[in-house]
Amino acid sequence: MTIKQPVRVAVTGAAGQIGYSLLFRIASGDMLGKDQPVILQLLEITPALKALNGVVMELRDCAFPLLQDVITTDDPEVAFKDADYALLVGAMPRKAGMERGDLLGANGGIFKPQGEAINKVAKRDIKVVVVGNPANTNALIAQQNAPDIDPRQFTALVRLDHNRAISQLAEKTGGAVKDIKNVTIWGNHSSTQYPDLSQATVGGKPALEQVDRTWYETEYIPTVAKRGAAIIEARGASSAASAAGAAIDHMRDWALGTREGEWTSMAIPSDGSYGIPEGLIYGFPVRIKDGKYEIVQGLEVSDFSRGKMDATARELEEERDEVRKLGLVK
């Protein structure tokens, strides 16, 4: 195997719970491949740098052959310097009883300066995924504050919802996860998201022919959409290993491509496809080749789907209007 030149991967909130799972998987080659050395550039707030240094000690103790260097800093311009990839995880997590939108004001202030720093110092073709909630609108804030970077390089994570949608369907039908294809998460990473099975297949056969419609509408959709809250309730803390796994999946597919004939879900800037207002960072079905994603076009949209797709778009418009009032986006 020919080993490539190293790439720079910036991770924010690196000393947090997601970081504790994410960094080790990036360093082991799960994200960018076993032939891709990485330099990790880790951003934390000043009081968390000591804990971050402990994580770095553990990273070094793993002796990962692909881990070329680790930089730790509390300065976004150091963390994003020449970065090829950025995973924006650092944010304030939701507590029991809160909606993710309740975090807009608190977290918005983090993503404006980070967008500005990316604009100033990162590689022009940097691939950014926002994990920190409310992820879609935080991605919009970072994007709008990085006017010299192609807006399509800013994305948000709905892959955890996508993976949850697959696993819930596998459990119900008895099908294997690997035999489930073409599930879509439309819209916001919030309880208004629409986990859509209308194009999904299990073992090559339409998913909706294998489950009861009432179960789909009244149990499946809310279970997937509210899984984050169920985990907070059960664990007393928000999902971490599964969120890190989904961020790895998102970046791996973006860098290395989706499989032939299949798609995944990514929250990306809407180009107006499927009647979704342009510019919103909205979950769409995407195929990826050579590091470029494209929205899967031409899917049939039923009245049921239309209602759900529009409702989650409306929530994103409301979030955008709120951060606009705070002066965080144009």
Ligand X SMILES: NC(=O)C1=CN([C@@H]2O[C@H](COP(=O)(O)OP(=O)(O)OC[C@H]3O[C@@H](n4cnc5c(N)ncnc54)[C@H](O)[C@@H]3O)[C@@H](O)[C@H]2O)C=CC1
Positions touching ligand X (CB under 6 A) are: 12-13, 15-19, 43-45, 48, 89-91, 93-94, 110, 131-133, 135, 157, 160, 189, 238-240, 243, 246
Selection from ligand AKG, ligand X, none that 309 binds (CB < 5 to 8 A by kind) is none
Query: Closer CB to ligand X, residue 132 or residue 187?
Result: 132
Supply φ then ψ for residue 221, to 5 degrees: -60, -50
| E-strand stretches of the chain | 7-12, 38-43, 67-73, 85-88, 127-130, 154-156, 180-181, 184-186, 194-196, 201-202, 205-206, 264-269, 281-289, 292-295
Q: Which amino acid is residue 5, in one-letter code? A: Q
Q: Verify binding: residue 133, ligand AKG, rule CB under 6 A.
A: yes
**Of 188 and 305, CB closest to ligand X:** 188
Nearer to ligand AKG, 66 or 160 (CB): 160
Smallest gap from Cβ 161 to ligand AKG, in A, equals 7
Q: Least distance in Å: CB of 44 to ligand X?
A: 5
Give the HSE-up count for residue 307: Cα atoms under 13 Å, Cβ half-sphere.
4
Q: Helix 104-121 vs helix 135-144: angle between axes, to the nearest 10 degrees?
A: 40
285 near ligand AKG (CB under 6 A): no
- Catalytic pick among 112, 123, 172, 189: 189
Distance CA(146)–CA(3), nearest Å, equals: 32
Instruction: Examine residue 228 and tell whether it contacts ligand AKG (CB under 6 A).
Output: yes
What mask, x for binding ligand AKG by CB under 6 A, covers residues 163 to 202?
----------------------------------------
Per the annotation, does 158 bind a ligand? Answer: no
- Tokens linked to 10: 């910036």
In the three-class reduction of DSSP (H, G, I as helix; E, B as strand; rest coil), residue 216 is classed as helix
250 is catalytic: no
287 is in an annotated binding site: no
Please give the C-alpha separations between residue 219 and each of 49, 195, 213, in angstroms, as whole numbers: 43, 12, 10
- End-to-end CA distance of the chain: give it in Å, rounded: 47
Which of the 8 DSSP states describes residue 230?
A: H
Q: Residue 72 or residue 144: which is nearer to ligand X going by CB?
A: 72
- Which helix (H) or strand (E) segment holds residue 253: the answer is helix 241-256
Residues that bind ligand AKG (CB under 6 A): 93-94, 100, 133, 160, 228, 231, 238-239, 243
Question: Binding site for NAD(+): residue ranges?
Answer: 13-19, 107, 114, 131-133
Binding residues for substrate, by number, are 94, 100, 133, 164
